[in-house]
Structure 1
Amino acid sequence: MSKKPTSTLLIATYNWPQALEQTLLSVKRQEVLPNEVIIADDGSKEETGKLIADFQASFPVPLRHIWQRDEGFKLGQIRNKAIAAATSDYIIQIDGDLILHPAFIKDHVQAARPGHFIGGSRVLLSEELSKQVFQHKPQHISLFEKGVRNKFNALHAPALARFIELFKKEKGLYNLRGCNMSFWRSDLLAVNGYNEQITGWGREDTELVIRLYNKGIQRVYFKLQGIVYHLYHKEYDRTSVLKNDEVVQQAIENKSTWCEKGVAQYL
């Protein structure tokens, strides 16, 4: 595709405005800005809304806040509402506890191609380094800093990645991270977005990708680019995973390309 697609950056958040601030600061430092930013808010309290309003006053692109009442972990639902509201060709999806490499948006847009989606990686930051980030708000995180884990994911070499892709195709569900993905909005609408039958932490992205695969959408090899640094937090309650695994298994067995309760209800 010769013409670069317009892009929406979709940021999921819930009651952690300190982390969301770091995310939004890193968005402002992007070499290539998205056309709009939508914050998909799964029921945060007033402090998050105030932070977003403060950023809106001087943000370089439209910054929109879509909020729903807190009724437990319903990430798929709030993402669907944001996808429905998005006005761009291409949706880049992250979580609001990430710091973006300055080339993050540029990397995703350059790697976008018809009939494909992207599943990226993340760099884990230690608890101590995350505390330092909150305190000092650095503009750059070096892969050589103490507290930067899985350092390979912090290497930025997109030209090398494109060369490797000539010989390597990304398949299956390995290493899917919902905090760093991107899709053509038309492809998400074609499979009805996220399955809202999945609630609680886990598997909403896996089930969506299964339906994309069943629809014939392929995955782009996306190492050495699209880098995000994940701020430390305690793990979420994972008691819902077994229940959600059943929905995933149904999508596999039925070769599903559509879910009944998805984004279409908000269009």
Structure 2
Amino acid sequence: MRISVAVITYNWPEALERVLAALAAQSELPHEVIVTDDGSGAATRELLERIAPDYPVRLVHLWQPDDGARMSRARNRAIAAAQGDYVILLDGDMVAERHFIADHRAFARRGCFVQGSRVLTDARLTRHMLEQAAFVPGFFSRGIERRRHTLRMPLLANLYARPHVRRRGIKSCNMAFWRDDLLRVNGFNEAMTGWGREDTELAARAFHAGLLRRDLRFSALATHLYHRTRKHVVDNPNDRIVEDTRARQLIRCELGLDQHVPEFAAAPADLRFAAPEPRPPYSN
């Protein structure tokens, strides 16, 4: 089973560098890391060009113009470009514990997708993590929430492994699917732009397609770097799309992954070996 990690990012290269370093230091490396970029400025590309020569696995950068928050489109492009059988979705502010990939591999089951967890940090601890690259918060660290998610206990993780169809707690910051299942449901719904709910809508269609959810707790640990959030958006139009998907029991979205598959019929360049290319017309 080849594992692709799709890391979404936008204009925070300091966090992305920490995330990519953690993936490079895994006890079991993925097949590739795809950085899918929702319109970052030149600093992100410069970071990737700097670290690429020494990166231990295939490293890909997919960039799209900054035209508002288009997370669904960015993630779909990464899924379309993925060379792996299994895709781990990871946000560009999620620092993985060193057994993260191995734990995801051990947890993968056909007919299921995986919902992982995260440790939350405050602003002060996040600054410390960005300044001290080797620091990993533990159970007794100050400045964290959801402290239990610092504990790696694979045997206890099995107690949470029973497949189910609960909707609560869906979040694509640490989530994994078989790639062919994502193709079957047509990936993320690109009619959803702006903040949030695209992961909830994807999970709803996955349930309608017969997939089950497995919760990955006490394993595949990751620490979320603090930033301000727009979580409490009032009257989010994406909520109405979620409601329609559930009401009509939709399996596939109309505007989704399939439109990007032809673009990546040939695998995108591995930055470790690619000659420098003309940079896109960054908007910021």
**Structure 2 CA distance, aligned partners of 1:125 and 1:238?**
19
Distance apart, 1:39 and its partner CA: 0.4
- Determine if contact 1:11/1:94 at 8 Å carries over to the other structure: yes
Please name the residue that 2:54 is paired with.
58
Please name the residue that 2:200 is paired with.
206
Give the total of aligned pairs: 261
Distance apart, 1:240 and its partner CA: 7.4
Please name the residue that 1:40 is paired with.
36
Query: Cα gap change, 1:138/1:127 in structure 2, threshold over 3 Å: closer, same or farther?
Result: same
- Determine if contact 1:123/1:229 at 8 Å carries over to the other structure: yes
Query: Unpaired runs of 5+ in structure 1?
Result: none
1:89 counterpart letter in structure 2: D
Please give the root-mean-square deviation of Cα atoms over the aligned residues, in Å. 1.3
Distance apart, 1:201 and its partner CA: 0.6
Distance apart, 1:136 and its partner CA: 1.5
**Structure 2 CA distance, aligned partners of 1:8 and 1:30?**
14
Aligned residue among 221, 230, 253 for 1:227? 221
Q: Give runs of aligned pairs for residues 1-267 of structure 1, distance below 5 A.
A: 5-165=1-161, 168-236=162-230, 239=233, 242-267=236-261
Distance apart, 1:38 and its partner CA: 0.2
Query: Cα gap change, 1:30/1:113 in structure 2, threshold over 3 Å: closer, same or farther?
Result: same
Q: Aligned to 2:236, what secondary structure does the other structure show?
A: helix
Any idea what the Cα deviations from partners look like across 1:219-253, whole Å, max 9, x if unmatched?
A: 11311111110011111375476200000000000
- Determine if contact 1:201/1:241 at 8 Å carries over to the other structure: no
Further displaced range: 67-76 or 147-156: 147-156
Q: Aligned to 1:57, what secondary structure does the other structure show?
A: helix
- Determine if contact 1:125/1:231 at 8 Å carries over to the other structure: yes
**Structure 1 CA distance, aligned partners of 2:260 and 2:148?**
39
**Structure 2 CA distance, aligned partners of 1:236 and 1:16?**
17
Further displaced range: 140-149 or 126-135: 140-149
TM-score, normalising length from structure 1? 0.94
Distance apart, 1:48 and its partner CA: 0.4
**Structure 2 CA distance, aligned partners of 1:139 and 1:128?**
13
Query: Cα gap change, 1:193/1:69 in structure 2, threshold over 3 Å: closer, same or farther?
Result: same
Q: Aligned to 1:117, what secondary structure does the other structure show?
A: strand
Any idea what the Cα deviations from partners look like across 1:149-207, whole Å, max 9, x if unmatched?
A: 21111111112211453xx4443211112100000000000000000000001100000
Distance apart, 1:6 and its partner CA: 0.8
Query: Cα gap change, 1:151/1:21 in structure 2, threshold over 3 Å: closer, same or farther?
Result: same
Distance apart, 1:140 and its partner CA: 2.9
**Structure 2 CA distance, aligned partners of 1:22 and 1:160?**
28
**Structure 1 CA distance, aligned partners of 2:138 and 2:173?**
21
Q: Aligned to 1:79, what secondary structure does the other structure show?
A: helix
Any idea what the Cα deviations from partners look like across 1:69-102, whole Å, max 9, x if unmatched?
A: 0000000001101100001100001001111111
**Structure 2 CA distance, aligned partners of 1:239 and 1:173?**
19
**Structure 2 CA distance, aligned partners of 1:249 and 1:197?**
14
2:144 counterpart letter in structure 1: V
